[in-house]
Structure 1
């Protein structure tokens, strides 16, 4: 499955960033009963933060970049954590926290790019339920943070045919 994800990202002109390590006393991914819970990934590229708060004047390309960055970080940490015996079956849920000024009301639109990228990567298995929440701040003053809930399945090893 990892090869499929990397290949699909290459087709989209994207690559996975290095898998981020937790910056606290928690796990990046917890797998339980066939479900992977991916801890929140902030809009960070290396040590550089894509900062909020978002307001009505925030350029759309900044919002798109923040959303794509969060998704790629989440997928990267998920892929790095999955044992070879498991594969991604479906993205179940995306929860997004938008660092926004009080009168901003387009939180859902900020998450649209993240949702679209998950669909682009995983096809119909990337369609998911979603929540978009406005918050007063995020770690590092990030613009966006996302969490994923992912259904897993047994990876079926492919055997070469002769």
Structure 2
């Protein structure tokens, strides 16, 4: 089954690939790797802001991370023209806007990791880092960058 067909079957709609918010490009391809710039948590209502361990619960943080994942996949489709060219999700690096004593960063970033496996199957399993940050751009709850291998 094609990736596009899997998205349709699962009822997953990708957003438009977000435009860069500063002086960078949304992705760079080097050889067979595509590096997608950090995608911040947002949805059709705008930015998803908050601080884990204070104004936001883990479940809401994981939902915000899933939205970052949707934006990553949208950027990937813009870069490749077809998600069927994706061979593997290589690595995710997730940043969680959280209080100093918050320790559930992995549970938050699972929102994106679970999406990658849901969309790409076994090729969605990846290496990962999940770290805290005292703040993120525009007060967003989560930012995630990714590396993908393509044909």
Same topology, TM > 0.5: yes
How many residue pairs were aligned? 150
> CA offset at residue 5 of structure 1?
2.7
Q: Distance in 1 between matches of 2:105 and 2:67?
A: 17
2:13 aligned with 1:15, yes or no?
A: yes
Q: Distance in 1 between matches of 2:55 and 2:109?
A: 17
Which of residues 92, 95, 98 is equivalent to 1:94?
Answer: 92
Which of residues 32, 35, 52 is equivalent to 2:33?
Answer: 35
1:73 corresponding residue in structure 2: 71
Which of residues 111, 115, 118 is equivalent to 1:117?
Answer: 115
2:23 aligned with 1:25, yes or no?
A: yes
> CA offset at residue 134 of structure 1?
0.3
1:62 corresponding residue in structure 2: 60
Which of 1 and 2 has greater Rg? 1
1:125–1:53 Cα change, 3 Å: same
Q: Distance in 1 between matches of 2:106 and 2:57?
A: 16
Q: Distance in 1 between matches of 2:54 and 2:135?
A: 17
TM-score (norm 2): 0.91
Which of residues 95, 105, 108 is equivalent to 2:106?
Answer: 108
Q: Distance in 1 between matches of 2:105 and 2:54?
A: 11
1:108–1:61 Cα change, 3 Å: closer
Coordinate RMSD, CA, aligned = 1.9
TM-score (norm 1): 0.85
1:157 corresponding residue in structure 2: none
